Amino acid sequence: MRIDRNRLEAAFNELGKIGETPNGGLTRLALTDADRRARDRMVAWMKEAGLRVSVDRMGNIFGERSGTEALPPVMLGSHVDSVPTGGKYDGQLGVLCALEVIRSLNDGDIRTRHPVTLSIFTNEEGARFQPAMIASGVLAGKIALEDAYNATDRDGIRLVDELERIGYLGPEPCVPRPLRAYLELHIEQGPLLEEEERSVGVVEGIVGISWSRLTLRGIQDHAGPTPMRGRRDALVAAAEVVRAVRAIPGQVSAAMVATVGRLEVSPNIPNAIPGSVRMSVDLRDPNEEQLTRALALLDRAVKNAAASEGVSHELTHYWRVPPTPFHPEVVGAVERAAQALGARHRRILSGAGHDAQYMATICPAGMIFVPSRNGRSHCEEEFTAWEEIEPGANTLLLATLELAQQV
């Protein structure tokens, strides 16, 4: 029993046209028209595959293939939204491999005891609406529906209004549900599998993630007549914070990473001293205590930078997901599947967040990684060869058969 690589590739090429950038990447921000078109395409394919499709109040899409018994389903999912000028593999590959697994089960007339459900989660990236994984967060009961609805994008547009506008504000409650397991195939987005020439990553868990928002307020003034003395430049303070954030991992742990990815300068013109800056801080570490230590260092760095420039600051640590080990049974099923296929595999920890992280709080969860060329992701250069995807997709198929119990 194997997946059909040509069919998978054809679906990938077709879906990848929606939101494609001139350089062959993808810009398909959550709940935009491009996201709607990708969702519509997926829903049509899911219905063609005989799945019972439903949409919940967060716009998560589910397609269920019946089992032979009334048991909780094995859920296979990922997302179809992307970051701006991102790649075609992040998220999209996972939902299409899940679809291909279901198509292959149909072709083989395979019955499973547990139903198998394909899931597509809303706004996984957190690029348009923060935080990331917001819809699996609501499903898992970790984020309040109201808070998610009121998340706004850069233009102040609310998530709930966009859900409604694109026709994906569904009727199903977005609450924890009984699941046999949750399994997600994804690109690694890092260099390890490629470096070791392994095609399958048996994911053991995901690092802890913390997101903070910082606003620095100085004094906006004319860039010409205002002497250098006494300036209160919000951007100068921000620059100090950026350098300090870069230095945090060196003070905490070898595994920690820290990133300022977003900076909004106001008024952002050549001839005014910046009056305010808003910025993001992303901190990640496999260890919860180290994350807490890093946040204390961040607090101190912000205070110091603000004091030395005489600006005020407002720092909010608004999102945190603890380090998440995956369930031994699911990790084992993935490992056995990779072994049965004779695929070169290794155990691996994810440095990226995934919906699997929230799903792991309500059911046994796990993930399968396939290699990323040059370890690159969240960029247009993202790429994985089909020879590498095929063993990963077959691992997903065999692990699903084990967890759903083929009859």
Angle at 303 between CA 299 and CA 306, to 5 degrees: 135
* CB of 208 closer than 8 Å to CB of 320: yes
**Strand positions, DSSP E, 69-195:** 74-79, 116-121, 181-187
CB of 161 to Mn ion, least distance (A): 24
CB of 189 to Mn ion, least distance (A): 7
Residues 219-238 that bind Mn ion (CB under 5 A): none
CA dihedral defined by 215, 157, 268, 316, rounded to 10 degrees?
A: 10
Please say which residue, 78 or 104, places its beta carbon nearer to ligand GLV: 78
Site for ligand GLV contains 125 (CB under 6 A): yes
Among 75, 99, 120, 132, binds ligand GLV (CB under 6 A): 132
Site for ligand GLV contains 206 (CB under 6 A): no
Please say which residue, 30 or 404, places its beta carbon nearer to Mn ion: 30
Query: What's the rounded Cα separation, in Å, for the pair 318 and 158?
Result: 18
115 three-class SS? coil
110 three-class SS? coil
CB of 209 to ligand GLV, least distance (A): 7
Among 25, 63, 67, 353, binds ligand GLV (CB under 6 A): 353
Query: What's the rounded Cα separation, in Å, for the pair 90 and 300?
Result: 35
Please say which residue, 277 or 365, places its beta carbon nearer to Mn ion: 365
Angle at 319 between CA 314 and CA 322, to 5 degrees: 135
Residues 314-373 that bind Mn ion (CB under 5 A): none
Angle at 270 between CA 269 and CA 272, to 5 degrees: 70
Task: Using only the alpha carbons of the chain, give its radius of gyration.
Answer: 22
Return the closest-CA partner of residue 358 out of 401, 303, 397, 319. 319
Among 16, 91, 286, 366, binds Mn ion (CB under 5 A): 91
Q: Which does 91 bind (CB under 5 to 8 A by kind): Mn ion, ligand GLV, none?
A: Mn ion
Please say which residue, 100 or 125, places its beta carbon nearer to ligand GLV: 125
Q: Judged by CB under 6 A, which stretch of 31-39, 110-118, 125-133, 248-256 contacts ligand GLV? A: 125-133
Q: Which does 132 bind (CB under 5 to 8 A by kind): ligand GLV, Mn ion, none?
A: ligand GLV
For 346, residues 6+ apart whose C-beta sits below 8 A from its C-beta are: 192, 193, 196, 198, 200, 201, 202
Site for ligand GLV contains 291 (CB under 6 A): no
Query: What's the rounded Cα separation, in Å, for the pair 357 and 132?
Result: 11
Q: Which does 382 bind (CB under 5 to 8 A by kind): Mn ion, ligand GLV, none?
A: none
Q: Judged by CB under 6 A, which stretch of 4-12, 124-132, 228-236, 298-306 contacts ligand GLV? A: 124-132
Which residues of this chain interact with Mn ion, rule CB under 5 A? 90-91, 125
Which residues of this chain interact with ligand GLV, rule CB under 6 A? 125-126, 132, 352-353
